[in-house]
Amino acid sequence: MAGLPIEDRKGILDLLSQIRQRMLTPERLRQYDKDEVFPEDVIRELLGPKIGLQLLFIPEEYGGMGGGARDIAAVSEEMAKICLGVATAFLAIHLGTDPILVGATEAQKEKWLTKLAEGDAIVAYAVTEPEAGSNLSNLKTTASPVLDDQGEVTGYRINGTKQFISNGGYADFLTVLAQTAEGPSFFIVEKSMEGFHPGKPEEKHGIRSSNTAALAFDNVFVPVENLVGGVPGQGLAQANEVFGYTRLMVAAFGLGAGVAALDKVIPFAKERVQFGSPLIEKQGYTHKLILPFVAKLEAARAYIDEVAARIDSGETDLQLEGSLAKLFATEVGNACADAAIQALGGYGYIREYDVEKIKRDVKITTIYEGTSEIQQLIISTFRWREEVKSKGGFYESLAQHMDAVHESHPDVKADTLAGIIRLLSRLFEEAHQAKATRQQHVMFQLATLASVVETGAALLNKMARGDDADPTRAEHLRLCARINTAFCAQTACSIASEILYGSGQWSSAEAKAILETVQFDYGPSQAGLIPDMDQLRTML
């Protein structure tokens, strides 16, 4: 299996902790945020010979460490806990390198990956345009071939503009997606090339310590050696190949930001006394603003770990799973940060307490690398097709696995999740037969339920495997699994009712009959929810 030994990964995480204390203190990060400063010196030091953080994702044969998806997910989570602005700069370097990693010729890899490993080069990924965000069919930037006297292609002239490019104003080289006669293609553009003009930094709501800029390409000549892969028209395939990986990184960002918010809230709740007792002892506070997110973030972490392990084992075509991880983890992280502001009251609105910055920062994770709505479109479309093709077999297999977990662990509500999974499968079947899949809102709701179900199953799997030998940690996971499944049931009940009763496709009698045929009883799914949260609260 690909990746670093666990001790090496822990060593990198320890190094990040040292970097945080020395270079990225809360005071310094608040100043970067206030002044909207891109800390170029810090970023280059992170990439330099003493630290070399970029070595994590560069293969060993080009001077890197050869880290795997689990390593990068763990580091991404940790960096997001420090500062999402700085983490975004790291993400952009990874993104900018990805087309080279997956599609470049051996000579290109040797040149550019070695250059990145041996220096402190900042890289950018230039794909987004004013009229081409998630929909790259609207790509307007062009790359026209330049021919020599014998009619051989010697290079390309790139013309066009890019928008919202992270690291765009500071990148030493960029991978740029441009339209050729054969289709979209990636080119490596160096900042020194004539005609390349980065624009002024964008003034942003959050991640203000990252650099985001528009880029202009005015007849930029790029030698043919800089066409990634050496064959034009391969750009979309190269971009799609890395989505499962890069969206998993953004999912880890959402997770890390959510954890960072809880790390601010929980100590505050223990120390803040109101009406004679600490806030941590008040159900109305903890059961609304803290504990649901503790459980949901554990589900996000379990699913991210599961998908990362599949990538490291050599499994391919996991774009959908990357989308699902991103949708769930970033939406939960965003909601957790919002709740953190409420949990701190007036202090949550003050810069010194950091949670308002976390909230401003984490919002971007639901937008970049594909909005939540794009992820819902991807998830619903592909899971619908998979359910139809397998005649319900995909989700039935997952439900049967939850049945098996229930047999070995009857007290964790795996049987409840099995029922929810079968409900989701039935909803896909009924929506397909009634052509309700033509309603985008129905499809988006199915995607939301799919994300809740599949992450919930990952948490139950993790708990059942007994990955944590520590009894306290094991009990923490057990409680989180029970609590999260109860929330899954609430979501399932709401979405099923909205689709069956609210879409106009079925009569009330038909909707009721469909629900009665599914082996899912909502009432028992909530059994013990409040006592479970009471117990989890004592473990914080």
Q: Is the pLDDT of residue 520 over 90?
A: no
Same fold, 126-232 and 237-366: no
Looking only at the bridges linking them, the beta strands covering 183-190 and 173-180 are: antiparallel
The reported pTM is 0.96
Position 199 scores a pLDDT of 96
Percent helix, strand, coil in the chain, to 5, is 65, 10, 25
Provide the residue ranges of all domains of the chain, joining segments of one domain with +. 6-121, 126-232, 237-366, 372-537
Report the chain's C-alpha Rg in angstroms. 24
Q: Is the pLDDT of residue 362 over 80?
A: yes
State mean pLDDT over 91-116: 96
Position 333 scores a pLDDT of 99
Q: Which residues have C-beta within 8 Å of that of residue 199, sequence separation ≥ 6?
A: 168, 169, 213, 214, 215, 216
pLDDT tens, position by position, 374-397: 999 999 999 999 999 999 999 999
Residue 394 in contact with residue 386, Cβ under 8 Å?
yes
Where is average pLDDT lowest: 24-38, 124-138, 353-367, 455-469?
124-138
Q: Which residue has the higher pLDDT, 135 or 194?
A: 194
Residue 341 — φ and ψ, nearest 5°?
Answer: -60, -45
CATH code for the part of the protein at 6-121: 1.10.540.10
The DSSP 8-state label assigned to residue 539 in this structure reads T
Look up residue 182 and give its two tokens: 């054969």
Position 245 scores a pLDDT of 83
Position 419 scores a pLDDT of 97
Catalytic machinery residues: 369
Where is average pLDDT lowest: 37-51, 130-144, 283-297, 413-427?
130-144
Cβ–Cβ contacts within 10 Å for residue 118, how many? 13
Position 133 scores a pLDDT of 73
Report the mean per-residue pLDDT for the chain.
Answer: 96
Alpha-carbon distance of 444 to 378, in angstroms, equals 9
CATH code for the part of the protein at 237-366: 1.20.140.10
Position 251 scores a pLDDT of 99
Residue 119 — φ and ψ, nearest 5°?
Answer: -125, -155
Q: Is the pLDDT of residue 2 over 90?
A: no
Measured torsion, CA atoms of residues 254, 356, 373, 77, in degrees rounded to the nearest 10: -10
Q: Is the pLDDT of residue 1 over 90?
A: no
State mean pLDDT over 244-264: 96
Q: Which residues have C-beta within 8 Å of that of residue 315, sequence separation ≥ 6?
A: none
Looking only at the bridges linking them, the beta strands covering 142-147 and 153-166 are: antiparallel
DSSP code per residue over 160-220: EEEEEEETTTT-SEEEEEEEETTEEEEEEEETTSTTEEEEEEPP-SS-TTS-EEEEEEEEE
Q: Which residues have C-beta within 8 Å of that of residue 13, sequence separation ≥ 6?
A: 74, 75, 78
State mean pLDDT over 467-495: 95
Where is average pLDDT lowest: 134-148, 225-239, 296-310, 414-428?
134-148
Tell me the CATH class for 126-232.
mainly beta
Q: Is the pLDDT of residue 164 over 90?
A: yes
> Could you tell me what percent of the chain has a pLDDT over 70?
100
Q: Is the pLDDT of residue 136 over 90?
A: no
Q: Is the pLDDT of residue 241 over 90?
A: no
Residue 101 in contact with residue 175, Cβ under 8 Å?
no
Q: For residue 397, which amino acid is it? A: S
